[in-house]
Structure 1
Amino acid sequence: MRKVLLLLPLLLINLSFSEDYPKHVKETLKKIKDNVYGVFGAHEQVSYENRGFISNAYFVITKDGVLVVDALTTYKLGKELVETIRSVTDKPIKFAVITHYHTDHFYGVGALKEVGSVVIAHEWAYDYVSQPSSWNFYEARKKLLKEHMEGTQMVEPDITITRDLDIHMGRLKIEVRHFCKAHTPGDIIAWIPALKVLFSGDIVFDGRLPFLGSGNSKSWLVCLEKILELDPDVLLPGHGSPMLTKDRIRDRVRWTYKYIDDLRKTIRKMVEEGQDIDYVRENINDALLEIDPSYAQVPVFFDVNPVNAYYVYFEVQNELLEEGQ
């Protein structure tokens, strides 16, 4: 049987909330463990008011230099990230590991390239920057963020991986790994075994609802199980607060798993009942709230959940077609 072709429109959500936004990335700087630091964006979608600062970035200081994980949403924010690192150390910023090529994680990488960083990402990054839809999104971001986007370019990585890469800096080994498709086709994590610190990118979410529009929700569940197998002491997500205890890590990983699993099972039931995409999008919020009313307290649930349902609907439809072959 033929598969349903996923020619999905780019769905943009622009939400903003009333809060005092930091004037500089440095205002959010936190020392997490030993020589591991992070800066932390707002728990919301990109808006002009928040300057696009909605994601996290991290850096690790070693004897040989600095390794950065993710680069924020604009060149200007990337410059602020470099300035923040320079407020802590003058060691060379040697590597920038981009956990996935979404705009809020790699648009700032040009600022890191300017100071000599080697940019590492999954090879899917090349696919992303070559797609017309990515350039359409870039133009939309320029219109939304206006002067905040000045200097921002879509920069390709210097080194790409499809599976594993080990980086040795001083006495530390940083393991860069691609487990499977999850949030995007090109998710990678960075794992420091000696510190038991894991940089998860957007495979694990905290403080807001996951976005399921680029990767694969079924294999995402497998990735979450593999993260639990690593048994980190510290998990640093792409969005939200650092997870500093094993109980907190297990809770957030299992919560991410539960949301995706609840959504998939609910949509599968609707598809099996013959419901179309419009019905699913209109009713998915109520359906999930019947399963777990606490979803109503999750930031951006009411806006992002129907978008997630749109993409998962077609995933599930294809899965059912394959099962019927």
Structure 2
Amino acid sequence: MQQKTFASQADLGDKKITFSQLSEHAWAYTAEGDPNTGVVIGDDAVLVVDTQATPAMAQDVIRHIRTVTDKPIHYVVLSHYHAVRVLGASAYGAEHIIASEETLALIRERGEQDKASEIGRFPRLFRDVESIPVGLTWPNITFRSDMTLWLGKVEVRISHPGRGHTAGDTIVWLPQERTLFSGDLVEFNATPYAGDAYFQDWPGTLDKLAALDPLQLVPGRGEALRGREQVQAGLNSTREFVQELFQAVRGAAASESDLRQIYREVYDRLAPRYGKWVIFDHCMPFDVSRAYDEATAYPDPRIWTAERDVQMWKQLEA
């Protein structure tokens, strides 16, 4: 492997935005593998799932929403705590920001470090970073396992199905329309970022999503999925990546190989199948590092800081 530019600092190209209707009340804002935003347009209000990384970037989501409705945006749901998902929240002027209790705990524990880390890794995703207000995005409604909102007659179920991408992953489910917003628990033709993951829990959490039998699904990255066959393909490919990577790392760690050697072996093993997925090169060092931690001495993810990011990158990609 050739040495790569740190994380995705060399990824500067704009992505084509798509705003598409999936069911009567559900819309997807997608951008060729950049972070997605989900939109639920109820009878009397709008709910947004994930905010984009900055208020300036969130304004583009709002412009698209205003092409189809003038209803007020009353709710924002955070699928997890990562800065790229939450720091645009202030743009929506929502009355309520909703997150799981686990996500709130992670914001308290590591929100500031995550903010600095993510901005350093992937500056294009934090366009007009100066538009972010001082401080962090704080939910004002939290829940332990699940809650239900009614947007008029539109039922919106919000739940924490289990650990996977993070400890606090949240999904939004419209049972009347069988439409699911999965956050980064599911990706489609995009590499799952697993630097804060629970590899051994993630497949079981995906099984819970599959049990809902969605007919439409908005993944964290990648195009919106339509129809049972495509939805299952997104669930299955995410599960297979997570399992294959962790099994490879755990097996190599048992042989007492050092982390750099393990990384090179696992990268070469996964690249033929997954190497064309969006942000593969960006994610793999973080994914392998976390898998190695979980397979050895750290059942819970360690906090990524800007300094730790660079140190890890130099160790694995030098």
With the shorter chain as reference, the TM-score category is 0.7 to 0.9
Worse-matched range after superposition: 91-100 or 81-90: 81-90
Deviation at residue 79 of structure 1 after TM alignment: 2.1
Name the residue aligned to 2:313.
none
Is the aligned partner of 1:39 residue 2:29? yes
Distance of 1:36 and 1:107 partners within structure 2 = 23
Q: Tell me the TM-score normalised to structure 2 length.
A: 0.84
Q: Which amino acid aligns with 1:13?
A: A
Deviation at residue 254 of structure 1 after TM alignment: 0.8
Q: Is the 8 A contact 1:232 1:246 kept in 2?
A: yes
Name the residue aligned to 1:77.
57
Is the aligned partner of 1:152 residue 2:142? no
Deviation at residue 174 of structure 1 after TM alignment: 0.8
Q: How many residue pairs were aligned?
A: 290
Higher relative contact order (CA 8 A, sep 6+): 2
Is the aligned partner of 1:120 residue 2:98? yes
Is the aligned partner of 1:220 residue 2:202? yes
Q: Which amino acid aligns with 2:48?
A: V
Instruction: Give per-residue Cα distances to partners, 1:197-250, cap 9 Å, x unaligned.
Output: 011000011121101111211111111111111101111111111110111111
Q: 1:174 to 1:143 in 2, by over 3 A?
A: closer
State the secondary structure of the residue aligned to 1:150.
helix
Instruction: Give per-residue Cα distances to partners, 1:149-201, cap 9 Å, x unaligned.
Output: 12213220111122111111111211101011111111000111100001100
Q: 1:103 to 1:169 in 2, by over 3 A?
A: same
Name the residue aligned to 1:56.
36
The unaligned stretches of length 5 or more in structure 1 are 1-11, 44-53, 321-325
State the secondary structure of the residue aligned to 2:232.
helix
Name the residue aligned to 2:107.
129
Deviation at residue 141 of structure 1 after TM alignment: 7.3
The 5-angstrom pairing of residues 237-252 of structure 1 reads 237-252=219-234
Q: Which amino acid aligns with 2:49?
A: V
Q: Which amino acid aligns with 2:287?
A: N
User: Identity over aligned residues, as a percent?
Assistant: 26
Name the residue aligned to 2:294.
315
**Alignment root-mean-square deviation, CA:** 2.4
Q: Is the 8 A contact 1:65 1:94 kept in 2?
A: yes
Question: Among residues 247, 253, 256, which one is paired with 1:271 in the alignment?
Answer: 253
Deviation at residue 69 of structure 1 after TM alignment: 1.1
Name the residue aligned to 1:13.
7
The 5-angstrom pairing of residues 65-104 of structure 1 reads 65-104=45-84
Q: 1:287 to 1:96 in 2, by over 3 A?
A: same
Distance of 2:14 and 2:122 partners within structure 1 = 23
Name the residue aligned to 1:48.
none
Distance of 2:234 and 2:19 partners within structure 1 = 22
Q: Which amino acid aligns with 2:72?
A: P
The unaligned stretches of length 5 or more in structure 2 are 1-5, 300-318
Distance of 2:14 and 2:211 partners within structure 1 = 38
Instruction: Give per-residue Cα distances to partners, 1:247-284, cap 9 Å, x unaligned.
Output: 11111111111111111111111111121212212221
State the secondary structure of the residue aligned to 1:56.
strand
The 5-angstrom pairing of residues 134-283 of structure 1 reads 134-137=114-117, 140=120, 148-153=128-133, 154-283=136-265
Q: Is the 8 A contact 1:125 1:156 kept in 2?
A: no
Q: Which amino acid aligns with 1:298?
A: W
Instruction: Give per-residue Cα distances to partners, 1:275-320, cap 9 Å, x unaligned.
Output: 121221222111334xxx3223223323422321111011011489
